[in-house]
A and B are shown apart, each in its own frame.
Chain A
Amino acid sequence: NAGVMQNPRHLVRRRGQEARLRCSPVKGHSHVYWYRQLPEEGLKFMVYLQKENIIDESGMPKERFSAEFPKEGPSILRIQQVVRGDSAAYFCASSLGQGDEQFFGPGTRLTVL
């Protein structure tokens, strides 16, 4: 009964590089959410996806950030040309259906040097 899996758990990038964060939802869940937590702050919603569709990306920066949840494989959060301000913990969550409780993964801690 695997929960939400995220990898890598820790990621170090230099300014200007790309970061790819992966999230495998709970088996059978088709709703995926990404959140960002800056140091000493609460979680902030970024994007909500349902298989192959972006439902709500109101919390995602307009530039450099993108997300996908393909028909096969994990959800990917991609950050291009990373800057130091992107350093944060990125959490993925999944739910069985709309409205159901969300189960969170362990997070990916991104450090931009």
Chain B
Amino acid sequence: DAKTTQPPSMDCAEGRAANLPCNHSTISGNEYVYWYRQIHSQGPQYIIHGLKNNETNEMASLIITEDRKSSTLILPHATLRDTAVYYCIVRPYLNTGNQFYFGTGTSLTVIP
């Protein structure tokens, strides 16, 4: 039960910003938004997470709407190595099960 909705695929030109949307209209107050990506056949890689404030790290920025029902992951200058499946996950920070529920994600293709 992924609790998120993402477009199945997107293209982005190399060097441009990639904006990946995610809908999580049923998110609860104690649930964080996490983003992971999986480059072909590799293990998922953590990107970023946030609760309600926008977050930025060396990989990406996370913009969460004020009502927290959607968010956008921004890769500011996409490179060919950013081609991957991107997963948006909502989960309580302290979850007894502590597992992440991965949906089908967005397959991002960065085009030269």
Contacts and interface: CB of A to CB of B under 8 A. Distances in A.
Interface of A: 4, 31, 33, 35, 42-45, 48, 55-56, 58-59, 89, 91, 93, 95, 98-99, 101-107
Contact of A42 (B34, B45, B97, B104): B104
Given A99-B93, A102-B46, A42 B98 contact: no
Nearest to B43: A104
Contacts of A93: 43-44
Interface of B: 2, 34, 38, 41-46, 49, 87, 92-105
A102 B42 contact: no
A106 B46 contact: no
B94 A99 contact: yes
A interface: dominant SS: strand
B98 A95 contact: yes
B100 A89 contact: no
Contact of A56 (B2, B38, B43, B98): B98
B99 to A, nearest CB: 4
A43 B102 contact: yes
